[in-house]
Amino acid sequence: MSLFTLMAFGVLCAGLYYVCPLKLRWLLLLAVSYAFYAYHGLSALPYILLTTLSTWAGALMIGRIAQKSKARLREEKATLDAAAKKQIKARAKTRQRVLFWAVLLVNFGVLAVIKYSDAVLSLFSAPSPGFLLPLGISFYTFQSMGYLIDVYNGKYAPEQNPVKFALFVSFFPQLIQGPIGRYDQLAPQLVKPHRFDLDAIERGALLMIWGFFKKKVIADRALPLVEEVFANQGAYGGAVIAVGVLFYSLQQYCDFSGGIDLVAGIAELFGIHLAPNFKRPYFSVSLGDFWRRWHISLGSWMRDYVFYPFALTRPMSRVSKALKKHAGADIARAFPAALGNILVFLLVGIWHGATANYVLWGLYNGVILAVSALLEPYYKRFGEKHHTKSRGFHLFRVLRTFLIVNIGWYFDRCTRAADAFAMLGKTFLDPRLPQLSDGTLARLCLETRDFHILFIATLILFFVSLAQERGVRIRDWLMGRTLAVRWALLLCFFLFVIATFEGAGGTNSGFLYAVF
């Protein structure tokens, strides 16, 4: 589905939503969400239905086991001794645990088979089963399993209505590439009968246009240069390769965050606010700060459902106690976090793909974060001693983080780990600086006009992001202007987008993360 089609579909559905009777509006959302999903492939419907029904039924049964256990304890309170009460609770927890793991393994098992069967079978030279990756399967699987874990942990009661739960899983804007929503934050919004609000719709439209600008004017225009450099790295020196990596950094950020802005804007047309997924990551002062700002919903999912459960396990507690005796309290506190970061980013790397380059990319990030966690006490003492709060030191930290992140992108973008190492070697050992001025850049699949547009568009993105980083809420500021000023500014920006997106590298690429 093209961006224009997606935007038109969102606007049309919003129009239908507000003429639909209030009580039926959530059902209309479900109908258009399934229509959207079916449009992308009828063969994918069984997968989303399996996730929806297995998760809903499993969570409901887990909740009912807990209710029955509590009811029995209340009814037989006078006749049960402490040992009997403990036994009843233990039996209930065992039954819950069996159901929980069954649903978890079925859904993550399906995801693993679809995503990784080709990679595994290729190791044995076996034929590929030819599975097609359903739209957004990683996102709705993670979202559904987060709900299951929360119900299992007693955070909230399970949803009784399977149709309402189906809407939570399938709400069409987030199917494309997230964000990964939390049930208690998203589900109530979906079934609430939102009334027509022109200001809210205008705010949603602004966000849609901004996302369209990032995706079409910047990301798609930068894409041909990125593809040329990474596909033919042998023809270029390290300087041109570094330019290709920087363009990939820009392309990936604008593709992913632009797509998130677009789908969040569509959701706002219905009065629904999706979870934030980006917070100006390239202003980060550390790698940890970067990953708290990039793909926020995945990071928080990994933190709550992988990092903390792992770091707080009994084995890790025992290791911490042993380290406290031999290595000191600082190392003992930091060690579980260090191992937890390695585990999380190894999983995130595998989530991107079961190939060596993604595994190395995950380990690269995880090891740096692990070392940072171990050294954090020393960083704090250094900062206190040398008063490292100056603007110059802050800028140094931002640039250092930018360099660390972009080194990681070599592994993320290369199809083979060997290519990533070769390109890194060239960048630092064989730059061939004359290629920056001998016309090589001008031949990298982009015309001079494209370079000029990318430069202007990137400046716009930078200054808007800088204003936001300093606390300016751009949409609030725009909505505070008079109608004439607001629409004049909007019209100017819209005309700029229309005038520049055409011929964006000659591409009409889909979203990078739609395949995850």
User: Would you state the pLDDT for residue 130?
Assistant: 73
Residue reference for tokens 């008079």: 482
Crossing angle for the helix pair 137-152 and 45-75, to the nearest 10 degrees: 0
Retrieve residue 269's tokens. 């047309």
* Residue 270, CA distances (Å) to 129, 275, 479 in order: 40, 15, 18
Please, which residues have CB within 8 angstroms of residue 367's CB and are 6 or more apart in sequence?
342
pLDDT of residue 383: 65
Per-residue tens of pLDDT for the chain, all 516 residues: 688 889 999 999 999 999 999 999 999 999 999 999 999 888 899 999 999 999 999 999 999 999 999 888 888 877 878 888 889 889 999 999 999 999 999 999 999 999 888 877 777 777 877 777 888 899 999 999 999 999 999 999 999 999 999 999 999 999 888 899 999 999 999 999 999 998 899 899 999 999 999 999 999 999 999 999 999 998 999 999 999 999 999 999 999 999 999 999 999 999 999 999 999 999 999 999 999 999 999 999 999 999 999 998 989 989 888 888 878 888 888 899 999 999 999 999 999 888 889 999 999 999 999 999 888 877 777 666 656 678 888 899 999 999 999 999 999 999 889 999 999 999 999 999 999 888 888 888 888 889 999 999 999 999 999 999 999 998 888 888 888 888 888 888 888 888 776 655 445 567 877 666
- Please tell me the distance from the alpha carbon of residue 189 to that of residue 495, in angstroms, as a whole number: 33
Report yes or no: 271 and 186 within 8 Å, Cβ to Cβ: no
Alpha helices (H) along 353-482: 356-386, 391-413, 417-429, 448-469, 474-479
What's the CA gap between 202 and 269, in Å, rounded?
Answer: 8
Other beta carbons within 10 angstroms of residue 210's beta carbon come to 22
Taking the C-alpha atoms of residue 102 and residue 106, their distance in angstroms, rounded to an integer, is: 6
Q: How buried is 331 (Cβ within 10 angstroms: 0-12 exposed, 13-18 middle, 19+ buried)?
A: middle
Q: 311 and 341 in contact (C-beta within 8 Å)?
A: no
Phi, psi of 278 (to 5 degrees): -140, 145
Whether 301 contacts 142, CB under 8 Å: yes
Does residue 194 contact residue 25 with C-beta atoms inside 8 Å?
A: yes
Residue 333 is predicted with a pLDDT of 86
One-letter amino acid identity for 514?
A: A
Q: Give me the helix-helix angle, 448-469 and 220-231, nearest 10°.
A: 110
Q: So what's the pLDDT on residue 506?
A: 45
238 touches 431 (CB < 8 A): yes
Pairwise CA distance, residues 263 & 260, whole Å:
5
